[in-house]
Amino acid sequence: MSARTTLRALPTLLRVAFAEAVAYRAEMLIWVLSTTMPLVNMVLWIAVARDAPVGRFTEADFVGYFLATFAVRQLATSWAAWLINWEVKQGTLAMRLMRPISPLWAYGMESVANFPLRLVVAVPVILLSVALVGAKAVPQHAWQWGFFVLALVGGWAIAFLANVAIGALCFFLESSERVLEVWLVLFFVCSGYMYPVELLPPTLRTLIDWLPFRYQIGLPVEMLTGAFGWEESVRLLLAQWAWVAGLGAVAAVVWTQGVKRFAAFGG
């Protein structure tokens, strides 16, 4: 499994995964439509901000923030943990392990191949946000766009690596779906998915700055809506990529240790 074979296989994996994504496009659309949480919370915050702004957020800012959250959530997401749990339970992981390339690449490509279709949803939402909120819904400078892309890639990496780590726990626990649920709850509460994290009291905010969740959704959203200056952005991006590296190491260790324990059932 040299780096060269892996590299050579990637385009094919990507093509297969993209064909699959196109084949199941209706299913994906339903998943997209089920992302109502940002909208549910947007409605609440609009009502709150009707009379006077909350912090630096006016009604329009909340619309911009939550539409950006909706768009970012389409891209910075992964469902590898479910997949791993399911394939281990069914024993179909054995098929993947026989291939001369780590299954993790296949899981990763599956997620990446969904990007074009998900962009078809995310881009119009951003355009809608610009139409409703005005030009301040998107970055004004080129460097901010660059930082946004970097933050978005980082957000996706955090989602994917955490999913792999949690999914691989099922080699030890039989099923790690409960662990995933706990992770998801923390994600909902700490990531800026339900409210901008800057509205939290300072002590909580410090805690959240040390946790990975806000770097998955909150940071890309804040980069898109231009919440920070240059220095603060660099600091947060560094923190984000430190988490990417950390979670990458954890995922690699849990996966390699776990997969040794795998015994396929049936044939």
Partner 1 sequence: MLKRYLRLLGIQLKASGLLSLQYRADFFTDGVTSLFWTFTALAPLFVVYGERPNIEGWNFGEALLVVGWFTLLQGVLEGAINPSLTGVVEHIRKGTLDFVLLKPADAQFLVSTQRFQPWRAFNVLTGVGLFIYAFSWLGRWPSVPGLLASVLLLGTSTLLLYSLWILTVSAAFFVVRVDNLTYLFSSIFDFARWPSNVFQGVGRGVLTWVFTFVIPLALMTTFPAEAMLGRLPPQSLVGAVVGAGLFAWGSRQVWLRSISRYTSASS
Q: Which of residues 48-87 bind partner 1 (CB under 8 A)?
A: 48, 50, 54-55
Q: Which of residues 166-185 bind partner 1 (CB under 8 A)?
A: 178, 181-182, 185
Stretch that binds partner 1, among 91-99, 113-121, 196-204, 209-217 (CB under 8 A): 196-204
Min dist CB 46 to partner 1, Å, is: 6
Stretch that binds partner 1, among 31-39, 77-85, 129-137, 223-231 (CB under 8 A): 31-39
Three-state secondary structure call for residue 54 = strand
Give the contacts of 207 (CB within 8 A, at least 6 positions apart): none
Is residue 45 a contact residue for partner 1 (CB under 8 A)?
A: yes
Min dist CB 173 to partner 1, Å, is: 12
Min dist CB 85 to partner 1, Å, is: 15
CA distance 226 to 113: 28
In single-letter form, the type of residue at position 265 comes to: F
57: left (phi over 0), alpha (psi -120 to 50) or beta: beta
Min dist CB 34 to partner 1, Å, is: 4
Three-state secondary structure call for residue 99 = coil
Is residue 199 a contact residue for partner 1 (CB under 8 A)?
A: yes
* Residue 38 and residue 125 in contact, taking contact as beta carbons nearer than 8 Å: no
Checking 173-182 for CB contacts under 8 A at 24+ apart, the result is: 175/85, 175/89, 176/81, 176/85, 177/81, 177/82, 177/85, 180/81, 180/82, 180/85
- Length of the chain in terms of residues written: 267
Min dist CB 186 to partner 1, Å, is: 9
In the complex, the residues that contact partner 1 under the rule CB under 8 A are 26-27, 30-31, 33-37, 40-41, 43-48, 50, 54-55, 178, 181-182, 185, 188-189, 194-195, 199-201
